[in-house]
Structures are given as structure tokens and as C-alpha cells.
Amino acid sequence: MLKVGKVPESVLKRSIFRQIHTRRREVLLGAGVGEDCAALKLEPGEVFVVSTDPITGTARDIGRLAIHVTVNDLASAGAEPVGVMLTILLPEGSEEQDLKQMMAQMEECCAKAGVQIMGGHTEVTRAVTQPLISVCGIGKAREEELVSTAGAKPGEDLVITKWIGLEGTSIIAKEKEAELLARYPADLVETAKAFDQYLSVQPEAAVAVKFGVSAMHDVTEGGIFGALWEMAESSGVGLEVDLRKIPVRQETIEVCELFGINPYELISSGSMLMAAPDGGGLVRELEKAGIHAVVVGRATSGNDRVLLNGEERRFLEPPKTDELYKVV
């Protein structure tokens, strides 16, 4: 069992540093005993893009989610992820095997994304009751290729990739598997659990940057309703969105129905919201790359953010607490 305080050097070497294999040429100074900083070097014309996120909603796949969320944030800015800095806080009573498993998950995701774990800090503390990982991600981009959430313009199409609710569905299916199996077939539950295979938005971000988009925003806490509001608010535009066109898997609908939650307000890493002058063309390019995508509406002048559902019209509201927290 790990004791309260900084993790001992022997544990750092055995369960953290030995798990780190992915290296980037940009990293001049990386993880090591006593190293408090990392150093990177970029090429002329390149800029740093930085993101930070804590993962607190689940302990089961916390390592994988920590990397996915941060890498997706960087990708949504049109950046190539380079490295991450980690702060890992463990509750009293944690075992070294727990830490080793988290690091193995993170390194697996970093290897797939081509990202180096550059350093960080790990300790056991009474300040938390479950593991908490805070990730600072660092990426690079050509200055002229930077994309922001705030770039949507009136008249542009709004595109959503893959399906909403993927992350939340996967988490709930794993955390509440027994309850789901009592109502639904095992194959539906297994499919829902496996939605974590779709959590990276790097592929669609790469297609979108090449195609030319005005704005991108990965759909995370607050779900698609939250992402739509944030893009509109940042860009200073209105929205008109057809609720029936928002892509959602049947497994997500079933899981949300059982627990009485709204799939449109459920954490949705793996889905990207984009604004582009030619949404149809963007969808075709994404489909060529094997990425499902749909034009769901358009940005408008003014401040009205309208959701259409047949003859019904209602206004989008500011983001609320994510539906996930009602279940896990």
C-alpha cells in the first residue's frame, strides 16, 4: 500500500518511468527523477497550443480518458499533440498496482496518438477520495492553421461527427453493467461498453483542417447542447439546429432511458462539432475517411439559438451539470 505523501523514487522508476516508451523529437527535457520541468523546441512558424483538464467522473478507465480528453482538446484547435504533463492524486489506501495500471492505460493511448509523457507529479493525499488525474497537454500547429471555437460565422453549416453520448454511454455501461443486463440483451451492453473505441477526434480534426473549417469544438461535459451553446457564445452567432438530425446511437438512447437522463446533455468525447461554409463537402470528405458525419443546422445572425423538432421550436439554454453525474 502506498503511504501518504510523494510517491517514493523506487515506485516512480518501477511503475511510472518504465511505462513511458513514446518519445518525440521536439522534447528536449522529459520525465525523470527530480525533474520539475519539461522543455520543447518548435520549428519556425509553429506555435504552442496548450490545454488542461482533470478527470474525476470515473476511476475504471481514468488513464485512457485523461489522455483522450486532452488530445481531443488539442486536435479541436487544429494542433498536433506533442506531449502531456500529469498530476496524479491518489486517495489514502491506494495500491501501487492501481498506479501502474493507470500509467499503462495512459502510455497505451499516448503511443496511439504519438504523444510523449514529459513529466509531472504523483502523490497520495487525504484531499481526494478517488483517483484524480489532471493533464496539461501541449501541441503544435502552423500559426495559419489554428482553429478556435469562436470562428463560426452566420450562414455557415454546423456538422457533427460520429454520434453524441459515446463517452457517457461507455462509462455508464461499464459502471452499471449489472443493472443494464437486467433489462437489455448482453450484446447491447457490450456494444455500449465498447464505445470507448471511438473517443479520439484526431482523425476528423485532421480532415477538417485540410478541408478548411471556421470553428471546431469537441463535445465533452454538457453534451451536444453544451457544445452548441459554447460555440455560439464564443462566436457571437445564433443557431438553428434540427434536433432530429443530431446523430445518436440506439444503445445510447436505451442506456439514457433506463437511468432517466438526457442524451443531448451527456458527456460526448469522440464527437466533434464543426462550422464550415460548405458542410456538405466537409461531410463527404469525412465519409471518405470512414468518419460518419451529419449537417445538423447552421449558424445565424443575432443571438437566437433555436432547436427545431418538427413543428416545435424551442430555445437552447446555457449548459447544465452533465447528466453523467446523475448516474455514476
What is residue 1's predicted lDDT score, i.e. its pLDDT?
A: 84
> Which fold would CATH assign to domain 5-145?
60s Ribosomal Protein L30; Chain: A; (3.30.1330)
Average pLDDT, the chain: 94
> Looking at residues 203-216, what average pLDDT do you find?
96
Range name among 27-31, 172-176, 245-249 with the lowest pLDDT average: 27-31
- How far is residue 118's CA from residue 139's CA, in Å, rounded to a whole number? 12
> Looking at residues 200-213, what average pLDDT do you find?
95
pLDDT at residue 136 tops 70: yes
* Range(s) within the chain of domains with CATH label 3.30.1330.10: 5-145
pLDDT at residue 77 tops 80: yes
pLDDT at residue 277 tops 80: yes
C-alpha cell at position 93 = 489506501
Per-residue H/E/C for the chain: CCCCEECCHHHHHHHHHHHCCCCCCCEEECCCCCCCCCEECCCCCEEEEEEEEEECCCCCCHHHHHHHHHHHHHHHCCCEEEEEEEEEEECCCCCHHHHHHHHHHHHHHHHHHCCEEEEEEEEECCCCCCCEEEEEEEEEEEHHHCCEHHHCCCCCEEEEECCECHHHHHHHHHHCHHHHHCCCCHHHHHHHHHHHHHCCCHHHHHHHHHHCCCEEEECCCCHHHHHHHHHHHHHCCEEEEEHHHCCECHHHHHHHHHHCCCHHHCCCCCCEEEEECCHHHHHHHHHHCCCCEEEEEEEECCCCEEEEECCEEEECCCCCCCHHHHCC
Which residues contact residue 321 at a Cβ distance below 8 angstroms, ignoring those fewer than 6 apart?
Answer: none
What is residue 43's predicted lDDT score, i.e. its pLDDT?
A: 92
Question: For 60-71, how does the pLDDT look when each residue is reduced to its tens digit (9 = 90+)?
Answer: 789 999 999 999
**Phi-psi region for residue 62, left (φ > 0), alpha (ψ -120 to 50) or beta?**
alpha
Residues 202, 286 contacting (CB under 8 angstroms): no
- How far is residue 74's CA from residue 298's CA, in Å, rounded to a whole number? 24
> Looking at residues 231-248, what average pLDDT do you find?
97
- How far is residue 70's CA from residue 55's CA, in Å, rounded to a whole number? 10
Q: pLDDT-based confidence at 214, cuts 50/70/90? A: very high
Q: CB count, 10 Å around CB of 47?
A: 14
Using alpha carbons only, what angle is made at residue 318 by residues 198 and 58, rounded to the nearest 5 degrees? 40
* Range(s) within the chain of domains with CATH label 3.90.650.10: 149-326
If we measure between CA atoms, which residue out of 281, 273, 319, 275 comes closest to residue 299? 275
Q: pLDDT-based confidence at 202, cuts 50/70/90? A: very high
Q: pLDDT-based confidence at 57, cuts 50/70/90? A: low
Residues 92, 131 contacting (CB under 8 angstroms): no
> Looking at residues 252-273, what average pLDDT do you find?
97
- In the CATH scheme, what is the code of domain 149-326? 3.90.650.10
Please list the residues that pair with 49 across neighbouring strands. Answer: 139
- How far is residue 253's CA from residue 264's CA, in Å, rounded to a whole number? 10
> Looking at residues 235-243, what average pLDDT do you find?
97
pLDDT at residue 269 tops 80: yes
pLDDT at residue 317 tops 70: yes
Q: pLDDT-based confidence at 15, cuts 50/70/90? A: confident
Q: Quote the percentage of the chain above a pLDDT of 70.
A: 99
